[in-house]
Amino acid sequence: MKHPVSITSIASVSALGSKPEEVWKEYLSPAHFIRKHNFNGKDSFAAFLPASSKEEIEKLRAGNSNFTNVDDSVLYAVLASRQAVEKAGWKRGEDIGINIGSSRGATSLFEKYHEGFLRSGNAETLASPATTLGNISSWVAQDLKSSGPEISHSVTCSTGLHAVLNGVAWLTSGMADKFLAGGSEASLTPFTIAQVQAMKINAREDLDYPCQALNLQKGQNSMVLGEGAAAVCMEAGNKENALAVINGVGYATETLKHPVSISANGTAFQKSMKMALGELPANEVDAVVMHAPGTIKGDLSEVNAINAFFGKQVPALTTNKWKLGHTYGASGVLSLELAIMMLQHQQFIPVPFVSEAKRSSELRNIMVNAVGFGGNAVSVLVSLPKQ
């Protein structure tokens, strides 16, 4: 990148909670937040928001009549965005670019409206606007009273980091001074769980850690769905209040052999990491927060890509999906949050059941990866801000 982009705040709501201090406290613990739940007669592991965060969401809904019938994915995004904007010191009514994406969109409402349609043959009046992807960024913009551009998209599981890419593009081109990027997902519904089960990528073993992300010795897939949202405030240049600085972004798409496949050597990952690294020597990357969904092929492919790209200088590797599940479109920005927190606290958060993993004592530069159906990968290089 010719010009750095400062991250002046980041906020989230997930199974770890919604306050930075509690999120970091949970990262320091080896505990996970995955439990078995009955979805329409079928048991499946999932990672839900805690009761305290659910209460915050319901307060949001009750506090604005316009929020009465919106999907939870909208409210998750509103909550994270409010917190991020407040921490950045931005004001409501400012010209802020907004890109909050989602892989699934208004999952719960869509299933509800479709079920009603099958029963009656008629759709509810607001079924269409309430289930469009643009619904998320539009409501966030309404809540913040922003006059900037509003963008929503789905690039499957790399949606959140693609939003960050868009923010970098808008800021470095001079088309925006402030940009709010993120992802939101409220996909813990019977139909979504059934889709994951149909692909046989879900966790099915009652282990101490049901999601075995980054365990390359696992004998079966172990992906677990989670819910949540994350939003990041970005500004061009090196800002005095920066939590971290984006010094590189990369993206790539590889040829598909199957709709949900990724090559054995993670070709897209290798290309996206190379682009994000730029002119920085590979040995200066201290850690990688991996996508690592907990599937056999997905985890191994990314590790193979990292080994091929870094050679003998492989950084410390970690992921957060064993703890909070795979939050689809929000997952990349939640991984970015983990990277920023590790930089702030100068503490590497390992995967507790991967004992042979390398650990890093000094953290200056961290690569964050995401990939989604369609063979697309995104990498973002975040660094300590200049003092």
According to CATH, the topology of domain 246-383 is: Peroxisomal Thiolase; Chain A, domain 1 (3.40.47)
In sign, the C-alpha dihedral spanning 193, 197, 202, 207 is positive
Q: How confident is the model at residue 260 (pLDDT cuts 50, 70, 90)?
A: low
Confidence category of residue 258, pLDDT binned at 50, 70, 90: low
Q: 80: helix, coil or strand?
A: helix
Does domain 5-236 bear CATH number 3.50.50.60? no
Closest Cα partner for 290 from 257, 244, 339, 249?
339
Q: How far is CA 219 from CA 47, 194, 216, 277, in A?
A: 22, 22, 9, 33
Say if CB 313 and CB 283 are below 8 A apart.
yes
Question: Percent of the chain having pLDDT more than 90?
Answer: 89
Higher-pLDDT residue of 99 and 42 is 99
Q: Are strands 178-185 and 228-236 parallel, antiparallel or unpaired?
A: antiparallel
Q: Do domains 5-236 and 246-383 have the same CATH topology?
A: yes
Grouping H, G, I as helix, E, B as strand and the rest as coil, residue 192 is helix
Q: How many CB atoms lie within 10 A of CB 55?
A: 11
Domain boundaries, the chain: 5-236, 246-383
Check residue 299 and give its pLDDT: 96
CA dist 73 and 101 (Å) reads 10
d(CA 363, CA 192): 37
Position 373 scores a pLDDT of: 80
Question: What gap in Å lies between CA 73 and CA 136, rounded to an integer?
Answer: 7
**281-296 residue pLDDT tens:** 999 999 999 999 999 9
Q: What is the mean pLDDT of the chain?
A: 95
**Per-residue model confidence as pLDDT tens digits over 140-177:** 999 999 988 999 999 999 999 999 999 999 999 999 99
The arithmetic mean of pLDDT across residues 169-196, rounded, is: 96
pLDDT in tens, 346-375: 999 999 999 766 777 789 999 999 998 878
What pLDDT does residue 356 have? 66
